[in-house]
């Protein structure tokens, strides 16, 4: 971390463990996320989706890979403590365009909204509820910031939330937008893409065999899965693009080529 401090410029790669990465990201989000207060302009916003790669007359989807870290299984009784959104590409119905780099990122840590939590969830994500109770963002402010960022990056395209599997992350993100964002969900009520289903269809395998731990080498991400929302959203965005561009089971990955999860995969939740 000393070299990280000497440069004076926070990056995600300098952190060597989950807790160091959390500290690094808290600094980095000052440069990468929307800063919006009353009367202020949007600052440090990334470039919009590049429509030069698409027919301007067509309707374009702009994909956002989402990862949430929570203190329990469902929103309301439990809280979303952090989440990340990463711009993951665009599609006009004919051509998918993946980002050259996954640098357009929104990340926030938030205050708990209830007193209930599960110790196991906190052990997995490494987040400190006591710290976040004072230092975390207010959900109503954060979700409005997230909505503005999504709309800016999307431009005239339709924002679509992407996750693997979709059900968990969508439940939390959608609930928080409806509950706390003035304009509701920027993904409306159903603009979402389940990577797990896409894999099952393209590979010709059952959903029960389409878990992330079973991915063949050609489809996996080179980005490490750490249970930090930024890392996991980037890794997920890479997998999403790999599967989107993949021709399917005719490339030798159909059915039997999908590996069985190891005991380590089961214990870490990687078979979902």
Pairing of strands 192-194, 158-163: parallel
Q: What does the pLDDT look like over 131-173, one tens digit per residue? A: 999 999 999 999 999 999 999 999 999 999 999 999 999 999 9
Contact predicate 36/42, CB 8 Å: yes
Burial class (CB in 10 A: 0-12, 13-18, 19+), 183: exposed
Vertex 265, ends 260 and 268: CA angle to 5°?
Answer: 160
User: Taking the domain 58-268, which CATH number applies?
Assistant: 3.30.420.10
pLDDT tens over the chain, length 272 residues: 333 333 343 333 333 344 454 445 455 444 444 333 333 333 334 455 654 455 554 489 999 999 999 999 999 999 999 999 999 999 999 999 999 999 999 999 999 999 999 999 999 999 999 999 999 999 999 999 999 999 999 999 999 999 999 999 999 999 999 999 999 999 999 999 999 999 999 999 999 999 988 899 999 998 887 889 999 999 999 999 999 999 987 444 444 456 555 433 433 344 34
Instruction: Compute how many other C-beta atoms are within 10 angstroms of the C-beta atom of residue 64.
Output: 30
Domain ranges, ordered by start, for the chain: 1-32, 58-268
Q: Please tell me whether the overall predicted TM-score, pTM, comes out greater than 0.85 for this model.
A: no
168's enclosing H/E stretch is helix 166-180
Digit-coded pLDDT (tens) for 232-247: 999 999 999 999 999 9
Cβ atoms 1, 20 nearer than 8 A: yes
200-213 pLDDT tens trace: 999 999 999 999 88
Residue 175: its pLDDT value, please? 98
């Amino acid at each position: 971390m000393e070299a990280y401090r000497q440069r004076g410029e926070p990056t995600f790669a300098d952190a060597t463990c989950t807790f160091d990465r959390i500290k690094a990201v808290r600094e980095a989000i000052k440069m990468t996320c929307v800063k919006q207060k009353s009367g202020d302009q949007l600052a440090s916003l990334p470039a919009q989706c590049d429509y030069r790669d698409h027919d301007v007359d067509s309707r374009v989807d702009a994909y956002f890979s989402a990862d949430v870290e929570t203190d329990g299984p469902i929103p309301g009784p439990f809280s979303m403590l952090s989440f990340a959104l990463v711009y993951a590409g665009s599609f006009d119905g004919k051509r998918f365009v993946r980002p050259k780099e996954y640098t357009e990122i929104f990340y926030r840590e938030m205050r708990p909204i209830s007193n209930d939590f599960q110790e196991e969830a906190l052990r997995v994500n490494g987040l400190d509820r006591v710290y976040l109770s004072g230092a975390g963002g207010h959900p109503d402010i954060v979700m409005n910031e997230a909505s503005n960022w999504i709309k800016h990056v999307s431009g005239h395209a339709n924002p679509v939330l992407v996750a693997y599997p979709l059900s968990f992350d969508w439940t939390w993100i959608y609930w928080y937008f409806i509950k706390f964002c003035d304009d509701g969900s920027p993904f409306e009520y159903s603009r979402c893409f389940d990577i797990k289903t896409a894999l099952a269809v393209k590979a010709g395998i059952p959903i029960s065999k389409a878990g992330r731990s079973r991915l063949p080498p050609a489809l996996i991400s080179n980005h490490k899965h750490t249970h930090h929302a930024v890392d996991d959203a980037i890794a997920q965005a890479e997998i999403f693009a790999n599967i989107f561009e993949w021709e399917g089971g005719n490339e030798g990955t159909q059915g039997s080529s999908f590996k069985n999860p190891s005991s380590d995969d089961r214990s870490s939740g990687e078979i979902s």
